[in-house]
Amino acid sequence: MKKIINDPKHVVDESVAGFGLAHADLVRIETDPIHVVRADAPVAGKVGLVSGGGSGHEPLHAGFVGPGMLDAAVPGAVFTSPTPDPILAATKAVDGGKGVLHIVKNYTGDVLNFETAADLAAADDIQVRAVVTNDDVAVKDSLYTAGRRGVGGTVLVEKIAGAAAERGDTLDEVAEIAERVNANARSMGMALTPCIVPHAGEPSFTLAEDEVEIGIGIHGEPGRERIKLEPADAIVDRLIGPIIEDLPYSSGDRVLLFVNGMGGTPQIELYIAYRRAAAVLAERGITIERSLVGNYITSLEMQGFSITLLKLDDEMVGLWDAPVHTAALRWGR
């Protein structure tokens, strides 16, 4: 295993410390228990947004803390949910008097620990709502989850709900828009290679040199099928076809197309994938109104990518375009 680390036991602590030093204008780091908080939190009169989960998916979630998006992020160990204590601490840290929304990816540990933290927050008279993202169409029930996994759509939920909170919406209103985004988002991913979790020291799964995994999860969970390597256009077709059919998306729909790298895939390949996905959508009469391309929800150094489609309405477009200033997303300010 070759990684730019010191001790595998300290990877998350040292990475979060470095993140805080690099982005001290945006965030502050709390270490006991560990969580990342927007520098000016709590913002009085604003709904607070908290998300989190296992580390290894950077920039998710700490990279999305800042004006227009999350108020706090709670990093667990690599691919391991944070415990309720830091989630509760983050919830308290961002409570500006209007309640707190938890945005939770649908993995069993995350769901249970965020639920426990919400119960503890309620005992302290903090109103908490939770939205669970489950946009992955590849598999139902997996190593980490009951039901569908929360993947790339989580980024879109955090941005759009964050903008709604920033404009002054109530907790119920922010939760409603978050639920609407999740309900209209669908994703599917693939892997060319596995990744190596630092404390494990070996690949999370094995693939032959001429094999790829279709429908992979962000923790290296198995997908729908293992196939021989195909040209990029054929791989995109394998992903976007099931995505379109699942909602379904149809002629006349307006969408945001998100092509996400899994950590080890260069931009040149992501844009090849975007090109084919855009062509498929055009053939079906689906209009791309907004786009996002890059590494935003990753799986350490895994080579591969995912596609997410979000069916848009006018309000979502306005909230997507609203100003945001985080380490990983920033425009309009």
Q: Cα–Cα distance between 179 and 170 in angstroms, integer?
A: 14
Cβ contact 83:34 at 8 Å: no
Q: How many CB atoms lie within 10 A of CB 129?
A: 18
* Nearest in space to 183 (alpha carbons), one of 277, 285, 61, 311: 311
Reduced to 3 states (helix: H, G, I; strand: E, B; else coil), residue 46 is coil
Q: Cα–Cα distance between 267 and 273 in angstroms, integer?
A: 10
The packing angle between helices 314-321 and 171-183, to 10°, is 110
Question: Is 10 part of the annotated catalytic residue set?
Answer: no
Q: Which of 35, 61, 102, 219 is catalytic?
A: 219
| Cα within 13 Å of Cα(170), Cβ side | 3
Q: Which of 57, 61, 102, 199 is catalytic?
A: 57
Question: Is 199 part of the annotated catalytic residue set?
Answer: no
* Nearest in space to 109 (alpha carbons), one of 150, 154, 155: 150
* Nearest in space to 153 (alpha carbons), one of 127, 188, 111: 188
Q: What is the dihedral of CA 224, 227, 231, 236, to 10 degrees?
A: 0
Catalytic residue list:
57, 219
